Amino acid sequence: MLVRFWGTRGSLPVAPRARAVEDKLVGALMRASGRSFADESEARAFVNEELEFGEGHTYGGATTCLEIEGADNSFVILDMGSGLRELGNDAFRRMASGHPRVFNFFMSHLHWDHIMGFPFFGPAFDPNAHIIVHSGHADCEAALRRQQEEISFPVAFDWLRAKIEFKVLTPGERYHVDGIDVELMPQDHSHISYAWKFSKNGRRLVFSTDAEHRMDDIEDTRAFESFFKDADLVICDTMYSLAESITLKADWGHSSNVMAVNLCHGAGARKLVLFHHEPTSSDADIDNLFAETIRYEALSRKDRRKLDVICSYDSLEVEV
Ligand SMILES: [Zn+2]
Ligand SMILES: [Zn+2]
């Protein structure tokens, strides 16, 4: 399986402002002071190898939308945040060269940042497309219809031309969807959210966003360590630092980088992806959270297996 990140930001889409881009350029020019580059590839190597990721790039600002490549005959998409618009455009390119027009969606929950991309998803207007929306929420269809009511959006849900169906799945059951085994689990979040586990050919991927894990909740820790057990990749809500998550932002429905590392260590997971970045965080703030997480992982590892930590950004691809 291959995971492609189309949107990694939490709560609200963001874009860097003019001054943020200026600061990156000034920083890079200062670092390169006195250097000259023979060609573009030398300049590119300097940006990629000598600058922090957030100095030479941006983590991006589209809200939650991921794609898993690896199903037999369909696109597999996790959540419908604003990143879905670009995925839709890319899907048209791939369908033109023969990719089946079938879309299996899996929804963490129905908050606006996780559904706002659907009205801009071009394939929903394609009469030959088939969209199946899998959710733990019985009110998933109502949420999608409601955001396209005339008071909020000019194109009604009933004007969409694709065949669209909704399937409500039950936690604890194991499903087989187009060549991939799928399980879900409820999480602590306003109106509940669901973690998803996808398994194929012995590889396991967990998608767990918008979940509040508390350090002193032993039952929750056991349940998630078991759901994450031996996962090859865990994509986790790490919106806050530990300090924020236990003081100012307790009960806001999100987790910290520290809790994510603890759960992955307890589960023996191999890789953790930091995800659902706080919209007020700058690229430098996310660089810092990433560095802090790597340090915490090394300090807390003890005799456990090393957990590789990856920080997600819009357009990242990870092989599972
Ligand atoms: Zn969210
Ligand atoms: Zn949410």
Distance 192 CA to ligand 2 centre (A): 8
Distance 280 CA to ligand 1 centre (A): 14
What is the share, in percent, of the chain residues with pLDDT greater than 90? 93
Per-residue confidence (pLDDT) for residue 57, from 0 to 100: 97
Q: Write out the residues surrounding ion ligand 1, Cβ under 5 A.
A: 10, 113, 210
Per-residue confidence (pLDDT) for residue 255, from 0 to 100: 83
User: CA of 214: how far to CAs of 115, 123, 169, 196, 242, in Å?
Assistant: 26, 40, 26, 20, 10
User: CA of 130: how far to CAs of 104, 126, 163, 205, in Å?
Assistant: 9, 9, 5, 25
Contact status, residue 120 vs residue 83, Cβ threshold 8 Å: no
Ligand nearest, relative to CA of residue 65: 1
Does the predicted model carry a pTM greater than 0.85? yes
Per-residue confidence (pLDDT) for residue 247, from 0 to 100: 67
What is the share, in percent, of the chain residues with pLDDT greater than 70? 98
pLDDT digits (tens, 9 = 90+) for 240-270: 777 776 666 767 778 889 999 999 999 999 9
Residue 176's identity, in one-letter code, is: H
Ligand nearest, relative to CA of residue 111: 2
CA 250/CA 253 separation, integer angstroms:
8
Ligand nearest, relative to CA of residue 194: 2
Ligand nearest, relative to CA of residue 64: 1
Per-residue confidence (pLDDT) for residue 32, from 0 to 100: 96
Per-residue confidence (pLDDT) for residue 190, from 0 to 100: 95
Taking residues 25-47, what's their average pLDDT? 96
pLDDT digits (tens, 9 = 90+) for 186-210: 999 999 999 999 999 999 999 999 9
Taking residues 98-124, what's their average pLDDT? 98
194 beta partners = 186
Per-residue confidence (pLDDT) for residue 284, from 0 to 100: 96
Q: Which tokens hold the place of 37?
A: 């580059």
Q: Which tokens hold the place of 193?
A: 């959210």
200: three-class secondary structure by DSSP: strand
Distance 48 CA to ligand 1 centre (A): 30
Taking residues 299-308, what's their average pLDDT? 95
233 beta partners = 205
Classify burial at 286, counting beta carbons within 10 Å of its beta carbon; exposed 0-12, middle 13-18, buried 19 or more: buried
Per-residue confidence (pLDDT) for residue 239, from 0 to 100: 87
Ligand nearest, relative to CA of residue 212: 2
pLDDT digits (tens, 9 = 90+) for 46-94: 999 999 999 999 999 999 999 999 999 999 999 999 999 999 999 999 9
Distance 111 CA to ligand 1 centre (A): 7
Distance 292 CA to ligand 1 centre (A): 22
Question: pLDDT higher for 255 or 183?
Answer: 183
Distance 301 CA to ligand 2 centre (A): 30
Q: Which tokens hold the place of 320?
A: 């599972």
Mean pLDDT of the chain: 96
CA 131/CA 115 separation, integer angstroms:
14
